[in-house]
A and B are shown apart, each in its own frame.
Chain A
């Protein structure tokens, strides 16, 4: 399978715990994006990387959220001190190295904070 992969697919945690999600993009894609989707809404942009550089962060991304892409390949998204409002589907997408290029989505990580 050469598509975008994400791990884990599901995560249940208690409020206040930290969680980390991983995304592996399509191998030749330099750009990697994180989105969050709640029920009944479209995905909302969180942040994106071009290679290892984090180029933009949404105002949605509070200081409890941090994302890294240390070697320009896979990326991690960490949420510290989770809150019930963090419950959502976290989607990763990747694309070639131009802004108008199509973004291909991974299967997502569904987070439930109890």
Chain B
């Protein structure tokens, strides 16, 4: 079992729709969780961090964390073509390094 698992996609959604990206992790002691966006050929850029169970909203983005189910998700409302990228889920299992999933490729079509 991989430590952080994501569906590789592509996830295709029409412009204006809600995109839902999911991630599961294996280490129960993980305390901090991050979503990064990565455009092709570029480096990861932080979208959201979340540390507590529940929802955290920032503009069009909402991160959801359920530690009991070892599940973290990212919702993107009013998706735009510029949101088309790979979304990386990263977990810090309290070991001072990030463990990344393989990423989900999101395609937003006009």
A positions within 8 Å CB-CB of B: 31, 33, 35, 40-45, 48, 55-56, 58, 89, 91, 93, 99-100, 102-108
Contact = CB atoms under 8 A, between A and B. Distances in A.
A96 to B, nearest CB: 12
B32 interface: yes
B45 A105 contact: yes
29 contacts: A31-B96, A42-B88, A42-B90, A42-B102, A42-B103, A43-B44, A43-B88, A43-B98, A43-B100, A45-B98, A48-B96, A55-B96, A56-B96, A91-B44, A99-B92, A99-B96, A100-B51, A100-B92, A100-B94, A102-B34, A102-B49, A103-B34, A104-B46, A105-B44, A105-B45, A106-B43, A107-B42, A107-B43, A108-B43
B101 A42 contact: yes
Contacts of B43: 89, 91, 105-108
Contact of B95 (A93, A99, A105): A99
Contacts of A45: 97-99
A1 B96 CA distance: 26
Contacts, number: 57
B96 to A, nearest CB: 4
A103 B98 contact: yes
Contact of A33 (B4, B45, B49, B97): B97
A40 B38 CA distance: 11
A103 B103 CA distance: 17
B31 interface: yes
Interface in B73-99: 88, 90, 92, 94-99
Contacts of B99: 45
Interface in B1-57: 4, 8, 31-32, 34, 36, 42-46, 49, 51
Nearest to A42: B100
